[in-house]
Amino acid sequence: MLYYKFKNYEDFKQTFGMTSHGNGVKSRKNKILLDYIKDPKLLKQAIKTNDFSLLHISSMAELKETMMRKLKNSGARTQDCKYTLQLMDYILYSPIYSTDENKGLCEDGTSTHVRYYNHEREQVFKMKAGRLMNHIIESCPFGKTLEGKSVKNWLCEEFTLDWQAYTMSKIPKNTLHVDENFKDIYSLGCMKRDNDYDRDPFRSCMTNKNNWKFYLNSVSARAAYLTENETGLIIARCIIYTDVKDEDGTTWRMAERQYSYHQNLIYQRALIDALIQGGYIDCYKKIGAGCGDSRAIVDIHGNDLSNKYFEIDCDLEYDDPLSYQDSFKWYNTNEGKAYNYEPEHCDYELDITEGSLEANFEGHEDDDENYDDYHEEYTYSDLVDVYYEGLRMTCSEERLEDFEWFQGHWYHKDDLQLCVCGERMLSVEYYAEHLSYSEVLGEYYCSDECRDQAERDFKARNWFYSDYDDEYFEHKEEITTFITLNTETGRFEEQTISVNTLSSLLIQKEMIQIGDMYYETKLAAS
């Protein structure tokens, strides 16, 4: 049951309805948020604490902002979390880890890991960013309420991407450009790609479509893009609308939705980070989950702006070039304005791929024709939904030779790979969110069972087993020994136990130290 308050069904659709992207792809808006607030336990906790704020989160940006604030406050109030981790703009807490003067940056320039100080072992180590965030979440009371929820994994993924973009900005390997070179950012020859046959490395329906003059002639905009220093090729790009007005008349410079080589979110975040540091923008289209929503906009401090109504001046004639619009989709001809929300009077919707308003309405009037997204042509045959490089599109049911039926859907053959267990699974590159990720191994697996087995095998080979705890520990220093009685043989035996468990048992007087050895208290008494 959903406890979020809505005025009507239209209000629900505004936040959680289906949204369309280029090539006819559709997805549910704010799905992770919807899964989170549907949990009945959340309502019970809200009633218990008389705090209903978590039930009234209305966007992914607000969800992230709220979760990070709750983790910070919960950690700060927890007596066990006595050490501080200063990471980017976040202050977080841990019972055993802290950051030093490097503030998490690894001296060897590793962008996937965070440098930290372990107070139990009195040494500096580095840990994968996602795994460290998982530790932070599990170390405070609020974080424990996220156990088993998709929002927990999402937070770890978001932090990992943020951290990698942050470290890239500290050790720059790319160059930022802000100019009116709209042609290049949509030109295949200027983009980083795998080979000459990679027809769409940015997964954009406007690549090589020659509609870039829209930004030069019809709106007030600039091109923003990152190029690799080594190759000079573009790895991420977006449009900056330089004269955006909100409902109060305030002017904003907004970075539109970002596109990047193989949809790499790290490159997109690095682009936005560079634009913020350079003082080029005041707000931007949200990165990652929920970015398809026209109102998924945040300011440069991460504050949610989805409740604002934005518009731009747009001088667009019927046959003028038009590039697909992610945010300012609704156009009023008389006013000469485009909006990121549907106003009372709207002549056209601009999220079309035909290149102009005229081209969108001429030609294919035959109701018997269907458009095959995959083959980019009209057909009289029936269509089926298929998935290619992570995107859902249509394909003629008579031309499915490039696809395979897998887990109830048609997937492109290149979107499937083999798991280490030998079973087929979806490609990590495009479907990571549907796979099982191991923080221990840093790898993706076809199922939770496969991941758990891989972790058990790895730990058995490389970690240290505690007989008492019946689990493995990564470092030898985390394990010690104690003396117990084998009731079957009647002999005393030495077994392993974790240092933390032993410390707790000593406090509870269930263990006792005699000399250099530890004994169960009941044995010492006898």
Q: Are 394 and 371 in contact (CB under 8 A)?
A: yes
Give 215's Cβ-side CA count (13 Å radius): 25
pLDDT at 364: 46
The residue behind tokens 């409902």 is: 247
Express as a percent the part of the chain with pLDDT over 70: 88
Cα–Cα dist 152/8, whole Å:
30
Q: State which amino acid sits at residue 301.
A: H
pLDDT higher at 375 or 330:
330
pLDDT at 415: 92
Mean pLDDT, to the nearest integer, of 424-445?
87
Identify the bridge partners of residue 87 per DSSP, sorted by sequence position: 90
Cα–Cα dist 22/205, whole Å:
6
- pLDDT single digits (tens) 12-50: 555 555 555 444 545 556 677 777 777 667 777 777 777
In DSSP notation, 363-398 reads S---TT-EEETTTTEEESS-EEEEEETTEEEEEETT
Q: At what angle do helices 60-77 and 150-170 cross, to 10 degrees?
A: 90
Q: Is the pLDDT of residue 350 over 90?
A: no
256 pLDDT band, cuts 50/70/90, is very high
Cα–Cα dist 98/104, whole Å:
9
Query: Nearest Cα to 158, choosing from 233, 268, 260, 77?
Result: 268
Mean pLDDT, to the nearest integer, of 171-180?
86
pLDDT at 169: 72
Mean pLDDT, to the nearest integer, of 301-311?
87
Q: Is the pLDDT of residue 141 over 80?
A: yes
pLDDT higher at 52 or 226:
226
Mean pLDDT, to the nearest integer, of 422-437?
87
pLDDT at 270: 87
- Supply 62's token pair: 């607000």
Among 54-63, 137-146, 274-283, 454-463, the range scoring the smallest mean pLDDT is: 54-63
- pLDDT single digits (tens) 436-479: 998 888 889 999 999 999 999 999 988 999 999 989 998 888 99
- Supply 442's token pair: 């840093």
The residue behind tokens 């990165």 is: 287
Cβ neighbours of residue 348 closer than 8 Å, sequence gap 6 or more: 330, 331, 333, 357
Identify the bridge partners of residue 256 per DSSP, sorted by sequence position: none
Q: Are 227 and 255 in contact (CB under 8 A)?
A: no
Q: Is the pLDDT of residue 4 over 50?
A: no
Among 15-19, 200-204, 362-366, 400-404, the range scoring the smallest mean pLDDT is: 362-366
| Residue 474: CB atoms within 10 Å | 11
Q: Exposure string (b/e) for 244-282, b if CB count within 10 Å is 16 or more?
A: beeeeeeebbbbbbbbbbbbbbbbbbbbbbbbbeeebbb
Q: Are 234 and 190 in contact (CB under 8 A)?
A: yes
Mean pLDDT, to the nearest integer, of 154-173?
82
The per-residue pLDDT of the chain, averaged, comes to 84
DSSP 46: H
Mean pLDDT, to the nearest integer, of 240-246?
95
Cα–Cα dist 66/64, whole Å:
5
Query: Nearest Cα to 162, choosing from 196, 130, 184?
Result: 130
Q: Is the pLDDT of residue 311 over 80?
A: yes
pLDDT at 3: 47
pLDDT at 303: 83
pLDDT at 29: 62
- Per-range mean pLDDT, top range of 2-6, 170-174, 502-506: 502-506
pLDDT at 370: 76
- Calculate the CA 334 to chain-centre distance: 39
The residue behind tokens 């043989």 is: 489
> What phi-psi label fits residue 428: left (phi over 0), alpha (psi between -120 and 50 degrees) or beta?
alpha
Among 322-331, 364-373, 392-401, 432-441, the range scoring the smallest mean pLDDT is: 364-373
pLDDT higher at 486 or 44:
486
pLDDT at 525: 55
Q: Is the pLDDT of residue 523 over 80?
A: no
- pLDDT single digits (tens) 493-513: 899 999 999 988 998 888 888
Q: Is the pLDDT of residue 167 over 80?
A: yes
Mean pLDDT, to the nearest integer, of 104-122?
83
Is this structure's pTM higher than 0.85? no
The residue ranges of every structural domain in the chain are: 9-164, 174-358, 370-454, 465-525
Query: Nearest Cα to 79, choosing from 100, 97, 93, 98?
Result: 93
